[in-house]
Amino acid sequence: MELNRRTVIAGAAAAGMAATTLGGTAHATGGRKPVKKLFGKLADGTKVYSWSLENGGTRLTVLSYGGIVQSLEVPDRRGRYANISAGFDNLEDYVAKSPYFGALIGRYGNRIGKGQFTLDGKKYQLSVNDGDNSLHGGAKGFDKRVWDVEPFVKGSDVGLRLYYTSVDGEMGYPGTLKTKVTYTLTRHGDWRIDYAATTDKATVVNLTSHVYWNLAGAGSGTIEDHELQIAASRYTPTDSGLIPTGELAKVAGTPFDFRKAKRIGRDIRIAHPQLVTAKGFDHNWVLDKGITARPEHVATLRDPASGRTLKIATNEPGLQFYSGNFLDGTLTGPSGHTYRQGDALCLETQHFPDSPNKPSFPSTVLRPGQTYRTTTIHSFGC
């Protein structure tokens, strides 16, 4: 019989592990102010810190560099903890090699075709860093910036507020964008992300998180046996540069149908033109719920071997599922194992890629006087 998380965490606590019950009983650090440590220094001498926080049986470590989730640990069905977020144990690798491991992404998550868009009759040229396209905000997006971090404890919640101001013209984007991202660990062990931003000039914004998940443990091997369900009847096919064509294609009868949970590896090697182009899954799913006032459940990921589950709720209209296609075995994580193709996956809540060039897609325009707000909640179980 599969155990629920309350039983697992209680068992872990009884075994002397740092854990809490879902009733909110504090363990060693639960409900206390996050712990700050020096993680490293950039080439210009800027100090980068790590912040460790724990609540509800979830342990989270975040870097001030890129707002990166360096580790996220939860128990399996037997109460054994593992880090389920791929990353590195040193700053140098994050700076020189990282494929966005665990990072905050901005100003624009995903791709913008040819790094160009027109807004209010003016054409903007962005930083191009993915062939002819701009990816995840350009060559030095939010993932490569040092954020100001403010820890907090609020009731039974504990978390971090991260701040970054992107000046007018940075990476080609118009307007000075003031960004605040709040990471919260709840007493239930949920990891909640609240994004907020304002601008002094019309611009486009699409913020997201780029955690690479492996529920069996980072560096433990393939995610092809993970089971995934996505509440989406359509997806956005792409061209050879992975830019959406503008079509909202039906998933029915294709490898992209995850409306019922299925093994990721079941269809990933089918010779479907979209899978061949992307070397696997690297597409935006059009969530059936659309844009909502509050986060709604949209996806469930499960590892049958460990029993760990991840449920995602968001108010965003899209979800990018990336199956780790470009991990090539040249990167090594804290476990001492290399990350190979398909050893981790991303589930990025978002507006659609290339929306500034696709009038039929939900708008990503932000204007002065408006506040950009989105929320994504990650709930863990076993």
* Measured distance between the N- and C-terminal CA atoms of the chain, rounded to whole angstroms: 11
Contact 182, 84 (CB under 8 A): no
Cα(227)–Cα(303) distance, integer angstroms = 6
User: Closest Cα to residue 331, out of 99, 135, 27?
Assistant: 99
Tell me, what DSSP letter sits at residue 121?
T
Cα(145)–Cα(104) distance, integer angstroms = 10
Cα(201)–Cα(350) distance, integer angstroms = 22
User: Closest Cα to residue 111, out of 375, 356, 317?
Assistant: 356
Cα(85)–Cα(168) distance, integer angstroms = 33
Q: What is the CA radius of gyration of the chain?
A: 20
Give me the count of residues in the chain. Answer: 382
Cα(91)–Cα(254) distance, integer angstroms = 41
Residues with Cβ within 8 Å of residue 375, at least 6 apart in sequence: 192, 193, 194, 195, 294, 295, 314, 315
* Pairing of the two strands 232-236 and 249-250: antiparallel
Contact 176, 189 (CB under 8 A): no
Contact 368, 349 (CB under 8 A): no
Which runs of consecutive H residues, i.e. helices, occur in the chain?
5-14, 91-96, 273-278
Catalytic residues: 210, 348
| H or E element at residue 51 | strand 47-55
Cα(200)–Cα(185) distance, integer angstroms = 32
Two tokens, residue 316: 């965003």
Q: Which residues pair with 301 in a beta bridge?
A: 228, 310
Cα(340)–Cα(72) distance, integer angstroms = 20
